[in-house]
Amino acid sequence: MKSILYSDPLAPLLIRNELFSLLPAHISRLTVVCIGSNRINGDSLGPFVGTLLENAYPDHLTVIGTLERPVDATNIERVHQQLLKNPNSYVLAVDSIVGPQPFVHTIAIRPGALSPGTALGKSLPPVGDISVMGVMMEDTADVSALPYTNLHIAIGLSLTVRQRYGYESSTPLVA
């Protein structure tokens, strides 16, 4: 698992580099599932990222989960079933999480699905071929008080798509 500090000014480039190393060469379209609530600040990382990327690269990027239409515990089963119907899609899952102290205030990227709702004891379906997680606070803390949101993830994903699919450098990074 790659961990990138929120405060690192190179975070978007480091995210891009890590995603490049994890994306298979044959992928022609990415689906980004942005998980979280639009009602809880610290749990809104996914919907914020989705909103920023929603219309940025329509030919190569499908975004599911925005502030207007979040993917949360109420609809993630339906989204999961929708993803299963398209086995050729490659999914990047974005979510805010709690974690151990050394990872707090970092962006963690790893191959494999993430398990949303774990901190709240929920059993929700795993999502993603790659997990991109904003570690908001320590896993021993009160999760009702999630404090930080960092949007380097949106810029890093945008840089990845822009470079991977040959968009001009003048193309806006987010919508």
Q: So where are the chain's domains?
A: 2-164
Q: How many Cβ atoms sit within 10 Å of the Cβ of residue 154?
A: 25
Per-residue pLDDT, 117? 80
pLDDT digits (tens, 9 = 90+) for 26-83: 898 999 999 998 887 767 889 999 999 999 999 999 999 999 999 999 999 999 999 9
Instruction: Please report, for residues 19, 21, 119, the alpha-carbon distance to residue 16 in angstroms, rounded to integers and kept in the order given.
Output: 5, 9, 27
Give the CATH number of domain 2-164. 3.40.50
Instruction: Reply yes or no on whether the pLDDT at 110 is more than 60.
Output: yes
Q: Please tell me which residue, 121 or 45, carries the higher pLDDT value.
A: 45
Residue 67 CA to residue 46 CA, distance in Å, equals 9
